[in-house]
């Protein structure tokens, strides 16, 4: 008990000291309370029809998404590639195990049998309803990323809750039986990444073909380049390339998370058996 | 100015709640309870991000910290056993 109190007091003292040091400026100058020049510039150019005619507007109602995919698009592309590499690395480590698991699962239990595992029927029915709601929220976050706070990564991580919930409430077998397989998830992830790449290169390629100026990761016309992505989808502002980036990023993120969950929920004994077999050289 | 004070007051309350939840999570010998306390701490952080006007972070933080992370930990706890010791 005494130990717990001492721990709590230490934590509080540490936080108070850190807050005090920050407040007096020991960790560098404090941010000014008014808007900085960069923020003013971004706010002025994000959605400004007057500037758009001059070629100085991102034409996206949501500032954060515009900064993430337009002003600082290259940063985000690299971020996505890093996450992709990490997940491919995980898969490479488990390649042999995953292959044998897939083979075993593809002709093991029937669907009805897979449904029998997991938690009680009450929990399952409630989960089935909630999963639909999570899917709707995720899709709305991704597809409206250029209008309201949210975007591809946010939507992907909201949608990734679905496979985890299904994994816990139903079972791994159920998830695999429903068609959530490694190969498919890797395919979906690749589709997302190729989509991001094509959206980034799209205008540069088109510009080269028709013989005008164009840039990689370009969104709206600017700096001597007359072409741009469509500004409207039906009667909704689409933010040009932002809508495409958000949708493809959503696919890539949800598939990536699902792959990680499938790897994490592997049966330990099956994985061990496979590794032992490898050590024996068969 | 009252609104700003209210925001700072709520920030302080959320920060305090997160510290208490963190202490409980570290101290708990029951790992399942520790995960719940950790999620509670995340809820306090989510509120703080919202008060600091970062709704984009709130969306991803709520999904990861309250949904994905506790469920992954519960999967792991299922493998290693519920009680520390």
Which has more pLDDT, B63 or B84? B63
Chain A CB contacts of B64 below 8 Å: 157
Mean pLDDT of A174-194: 87
Q: Which of B27, B63, B79 sits opposite A157 (nearest CB)?
A: B63
**Average confidence score pLDDT of chain A:** 84
In this complex, the residue of B19, B56, B71 whose CB is nearest that of residue A11 is B19
Domain ranges of chain B: 2-80
- The mean predicted confidence, pLDDT, of chain B is 89
Mean pLDDT of A113-129: 83
pLDDT band per the 50, 70, 90 thresholds, residue B47: very high
- In chain B, % of residues over pLDDT 90: 44
A204-237 pLDDT, tens digit per residue, is 899 989 988 888 888 888 777 888 888 888 888 8
The SS3 call for residue A215 is coil
pLDDT computed for residue A192 by the predictor: 93
Min Cα distance A30 → chain B (Å) is 16
Residues A236, A241, A246, A249, Cα dihedral to 10°? 160
Rounded CA separation A111/B25 (Å)? 39
pLDDT at residue A114, as a whole number: 62
Q: Inform me whether the pLDDT recorded for A100 exceeds 80.
A: no
Residue A12 has pLDDT above 70, yes or no: yes
* Contact: B75, A15; criterion CB under 8 Å: no
Q: Return the H-helix or E-strand segment holding A22.
A: helix A2-23
Distance from C-alpha of B7 to C-alpha of A61, rounded to nearest angstrom: 26
Look at residue B13 and tell me whether its pLDDT is greater than 80.
Answer: yes
Q: At what angle do helices A241-264 and A152-159 cross, to 10 degrees?
A: 30
* Rounded percentage of chain A residues whose pLDDT exceeds 90: 25
Rounded to a whole number, what is the distance in Å from the CA of A212 to chain B's nearest CA? Answer: 36
Residue A14, chain B, CB below 8 Å: the answer is: no
ipTM for this model: 0.84
Indicate whether B54 pLDDT > 60.
Answer: yes
Structure confidence at residue A51 (pLDDT): 78
**Which residues on chain A are in Cβ contact (under 8 Å) with B58?**
149
Cβ–Cβ of A153/B60 closer than 8 Å?
yes
- pLDDT, residue A213, reads 86
B81 Rama sector, left if φ>0, alpha if ψ -120 to 50, beta otherwise: left
B22 Cα to chain A: minimum distance (Å): 9
Reply yes or no on whether the pLDDT at A254 is more than 90. Answer: yes
Whether A211 and A226 have beta carbons less than 8 Å apart is answered as no
**Cα distance from B25 to chain A (closest Cα, Å)?**
11
User: Residue B76: its chain A contacts at CB < 8 A?
Assistant: 264
* Average pLDDT rounded to a whole number, residues A246-256: 93
Would you say the C-alpha torsion A251, A253, A255, A256 has a positive or negative sign? positive
Distance of CA B55 to the CA centre of its chain: 16
Q: Is B28 on the interface with A (CB under 8 A)?
A: no
A205 shares contact with chain B (CB less than 8 Å): no
* A4 and chain B in contact, CB less than 8 A: yes
pLDDT in tens, B16-42: 899 889 889 988 889 999 999 999 999
pLDDT of amino acid A252: 92
Contacts of A270 in chain B (CB under 8 A): none
């Amino acid at each position: 008990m005494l130990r717990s109190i001492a721990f709590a007091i230490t934590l509080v003292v540490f936080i108070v000291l850190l807050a005090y040091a920050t407040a007096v400026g020991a960790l560098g100058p404090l941010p000014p309370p008014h808007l900085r020049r960069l923020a003013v510039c971004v706010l002025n150019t994000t959605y400004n029809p007057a500037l758009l005619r001059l070629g100085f507007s991102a034409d996206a109602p949501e500032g954060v998404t515009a900064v993430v995919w337009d002003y600082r698009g290259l940063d985000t592309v690299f971020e996505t590639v890093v996450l992709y590499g990490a997940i491919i690395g995980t898969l490479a480590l488990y390649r042999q195990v995953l292959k044998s698991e897939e083979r075993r699962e593809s002709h093991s239990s029937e669907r009805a049998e897979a449904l029998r595992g997991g938690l009680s029927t009450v929990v399952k029915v409630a989960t089935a309803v909630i999963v639909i709601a999570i899917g709707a929220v995720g899709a709305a976050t991704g597809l409206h990323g250029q209008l309201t706070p949210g975007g591809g990564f946010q939507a992907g991580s909201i949608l990734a809750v679905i496979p985890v919930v299904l994994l816990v409430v139903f079972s791994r077998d159920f998830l695999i039986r429903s068609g959530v397989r490694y190969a498919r998830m890797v395919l979906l992830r690749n589709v997302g990444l190729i989509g991001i790449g094509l959206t980034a290169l799209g205008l540069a390629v088109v510009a080269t073909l028709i013989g005008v100026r164009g840039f990689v990761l370009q969104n709206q016309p600017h700096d001597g380049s007359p072409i741009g992505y469509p500004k409207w989808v039906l009667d909704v502002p689409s933010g040009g390339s932002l809508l495409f980036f958000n949708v493809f990023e959503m696919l890539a993120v949800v598939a990536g998370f699902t792959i990680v969950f499938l790897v994490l929920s592997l049966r330990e004994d099956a994985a061990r058996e496979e590794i032992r077999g490898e050590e024996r050289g068969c | 100015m009252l609104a700003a004070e209210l925001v700072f007051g709520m920030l302080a309350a959320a920060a305090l709640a997160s510290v208490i939840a963190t202490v409980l999570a570290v101290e708990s010998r029951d790992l399942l309870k520790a995960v719940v306390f950790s999620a509670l701490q995340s809820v306090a952080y989510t509120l703080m991000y919202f008060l600091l006007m970062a709704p984009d972070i709130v969306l991803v933080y709520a999904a990861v910290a309250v949904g994905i992370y506790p469920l992954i930990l519960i999967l792991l706890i299922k493998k290693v056993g519920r009680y520390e010791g």
